[in-house]
A and B are shown apart, each in its own frame.
Chain A
């Protein structure tokens, strides 16, 4: 009987694929030792509309290429033909799960170019809104880390609580996902009567949820076995790959715009971003779980410290004919995923010359993820992606 080499099991997996003289794997699909599969764009384990072109040897990834563009709406191009204020309805859509960072950055950029100082009340309300936004995003994504490994219960709890925060957004701004509440000069209105009490009721439920989620996910033996030591990021990669936010903090490198470049009322709040040196999926989950608790604490501090009355918007020129002074600026804020920046160029006309978004996923989901997935097991891919909290819309804008 002829021996079938194709099905001969080789314990030494390092033999596949062979490494060429240039140090790269020799990807010969005709060898029948490698398989090419697409992970996404429609896949429950993908964070949004992106896909990974994977070359697999057995169950190990040999090469990964990130493909984006499935949600490209050409926003940055459209801004060339819109007045500054007309950019707001679309700018929030540049990152769906956390839209408020976009409107804050654009407002702050315009204000800086035009030399407008916003009232104290607006400063505090903006801080409140940004923290509410952080909390609702974390309520969705932190339990989703367990969801990628088959533990979906926490996701259901998180979605319910996120909806309660979205209720608060709805009564404050009129919108649940996209708010367009921050506008150049300040915000669109004050807090409704009884808002703080209703938010406090929601926060109590989040406190309870955080403890339950710890028991369900962070103390879970299977979750620990799958995530501890998986997808390690060395700290020296932080600058090399432009890593920011919680991914950087999990690797032991402190990066948090709220501390590094204090904006709004963050310098008046008492908080310390969580840090770790383990830099694996578990550490990145633990940090975001801590961020969620920290966000609840910050919301309570903001509600206690914010003024009860005052102007919520500084006067601005008529927004329909506003010619923002010539100049360029880079403004940043801390999103749940890390530093979120806008590079804005004005040529002194009614229309922006250039608005460029630099989101954390631009590097986390492309150069970093492509590197991290090499030698990863295919069953860990979804967990690795969610551990970086990649958000495709901010890559393709």
Chain B
């Protein structure tokens, strides 16, 4: 696995290498190199299995982390290619031409994080949500609680009890406070 990382380092600039275990590494590359690194790993280093593409929202840094996770089915190595993109007007080159299922991940990221992947098939079609007009829900600034309080307000006739107080009243109705 070490020699693979060295091979990548010769061709691309890697800013960080994290060894999680002997057969699992994560590397950080620049946005402009990310798809090239993924393509290189697929074509030259036999990482032919694309596991996932996902995003992590680092709102405090104003960045999204994109992780492309690949595995080598023969040597049983995993490599995660990390890259960081700006949160505002977030956009990334598409990798749908490399594997058929990448387009699905990109479509979900567009919907859930608002990250655009121009020219990715059906990227603008809704994936899970229907008629969603709020900010993309997986962004950390989307407040789930506030949204549900505003959207699904409590029905009349419902009340909330503190469990400890409720049981006290039920078990010891005559006890004075």
- Complex contact B26–A239 (CB within 8 A): no
How far in angstroms is the closest Cβ of chain A from B133?
Answer: 16
Q: Which of A327, A328, A367 contacts B100 (CB 8 A)?
A: A367
Q: Which of B76, B128, B145 contacts A68 (CB 8 A)?
A: B128
Question: A241 CA to B26 CA in the complex, in Å?
Answer: 23
Stretch from A77-85, A170-178, A197-205 forming part of the interface with B: A77-85
Question: A367 CA to B100 CA in the complex, in Å?
Answer: 7
Determine which residue in B20, B80, B129, B137 has the highest number of CB atoms from chain A within 10 A of its CB, and name it.
B20
At the interface, yes or no: A286 with Cβ under 8 Å from chain B?
Answer: no
- Complex contact B100–A69 (CB within 8 A): no
Give the contacts of A218-266 with B (CB-CB under 8 A). 239-242, 255, 260-261
In the bound complex, residues from chain A placing their C-beta under 8 Å from that of B49 are 239, 242
In the bound complex, residues from chain B placing their C-beta under 8 Å from that of A328 are 18, 20, 26, 67, 80
At the interface, yes or no: B52 with Cβ under 8 Å from chain A?
Answer: yes
At the interface, yes or no: B101 with Cβ under 8 Å from chain A?
Answer: yes
- Complex contact B137–A74 (CB within 8 A): yes
- Complex contact B104–A367 (CB within 8 A): yes
- Complex contact A242–B101 (CB within 8 A): yes
At the interface, yes or no: B63 with Cβ under 8 Å from chain A?
Answer: no
Question: A260 CA to B103 CA in the complex, in Å?
Answer: 27
Stretch from A13-21, A143-151, A353-361, A377-385 forming part of the interface with B: A353-361
- Complex contact B129–A72 (CB within 8 A): yes
- Complex contact A366–B69 (CB within 8 A): no
Question: A49 CA to B104 CA in the complex, in Å?
Answer: 18
Question: A210 CA to B99 CA in the complex, in Å?
Answer: 38
- Complex contact A330–B129 (CB within 8 A): no
Q: Which of A76, A242, A261, A366 contacts B138 (CB 8 A)?
A: A76
With contacts A241-B101, A329-B24, A363-B104 taken as known, whether A255 is within 8 angstroms of B73 at the C-beta atoms is: yes
At the interface, yes or no: B144 with Cβ under 8 Å from chain A?
Answer: yes
Which chain A residue shows the least CB distance to B26?
Answer: A328
In the bound complex, residues from chain A placing their C-beta under 8 Å from that of B166 are none
- Complex contact B128–A242 (CB within 8 A): no
Which chain B residue shows the least CB distance to A328?
Answer: B26
In the bound complex, residues from chain B placing their C-beta under 8 Å from that of A68 are 127-128
With contacts A74-B137, A78-B144, A241-B99 taken as known, whether A327 is within 8 angstroms of B20 at the C-beta atoms is: yes
- Complex contact B56–A354 (CB within 8 A): yes
Digitize A310-340: 1 where CB-to-B-CB distance is under 8 Å, 0 elsewhere: 0000000000000000011110000000010
How far in angstroms is the closest Cβ of chain B from A254?
Answer: 9
In the bound complex, residues from chain B placing their C-beta under 8 Å from that of A45 are none
Give the contacts of B39-56 with A (CB-CB under 8 A). 48-52, 54, 56
- Complex contact B99–A343 (CB within 8 A): no
Question: A353 CA to B67 CA in the complex, in Å?
Answer: 14
Digitize B131-149: 1 where CB-to-A-CB distance is under 8 Å, 0 elsewhere: 0000001101010110000
Q: Which of B69, B73, B76, B101 contacts A367 (CB 8 A)?
A: B101
At the interface, yes or no: B162 with Cβ under 8 Å from chain A?
Answer: no
- Complex contact B104–A343 (CB within 8 A): no
Which chain B residue shows the least CB distance to A366?
Answer: B104
At the interface, yes or no: B3 with Cβ under 8 Å from chain A?
Answer: no
Which chain B residue shows the least CB distance to A397?
Answer: B128
- Complex contact B26–A242 (CB within 8 A): no
Determine which residue in A68, A72, A330, A366 has the highest number of CB atoms from chain B within 10 A of its CB, and name it.
A330
Which chain B residue shows the least CB distance to A367?
Answer: B101
- Complex contact B144–A362 (CB within 8 A): no
Which chain A residue shows the least CB distance to B138?
Answer: A77
In the bound complex, residues from chain A placing their C-beta under 8 Å from that of B100 are 240-242, 367-368, 371
- Complex contact A260–B144 (CB within 8 A): no
At the interface, yes or no: A98 with Cβ under 8 Å from chain B?
Answer: no
Q: Which of B56, B57, B76, B138 contacts A260 (CB 8 A)?
A: B76
Question: A112 CA to B78 CA in the complex, in Å?
Answer: 15
Which chain B residue shows the least CB distance to A78?
Answer: B144
At the interface, yes or no: A396 with Cβ under 8 Å from chain B?
Answer: yes
At the interface, yes or no: B130 with Cβ under 8 Å from chain A?
Answer: yes
- Complex contact A239–B99 (CB within 8 A): yes
At the interface, yes or no: A48 with Cβ under 8 Å from chain B?
Answer: no
6 additional A-B residue pairs with CB within 8 Å, beyond A242-B99, A367-B103: A69-B127, A72-B129, A261-B76, A330-B51, A358-B69, A367-B101
Residues of A within 8 A of B (CB): 68-69, 72, 74, 76-78, 80-81, 112, 239-242, 255, 260-261, 327-330, 339, 341, 343, 345, 353-354, 356, 358, 362-363, 366-368, 371, 396
Contacts A/B (CB < 8 Å), 5 sampled: A74-B137, A77-B137, A328-B20, A329-B24, A343-B69
Residues of B within 8 A of A (CB): 18, 20-21, 23-24, 26, 48-52, 54, 56-57, 65, 67, 69, 73, 76, 78, 80, 99-101, 103-104, 126-130, 137-138, 140, 142, 144-145
What are the 8 tightest A-B residue pairs by CB atom distance, in nearest-first order? A69-B128, A363-B101, A358-B52, A367-B101, A239-B48, A242-B101, A354-B56, A356-B54
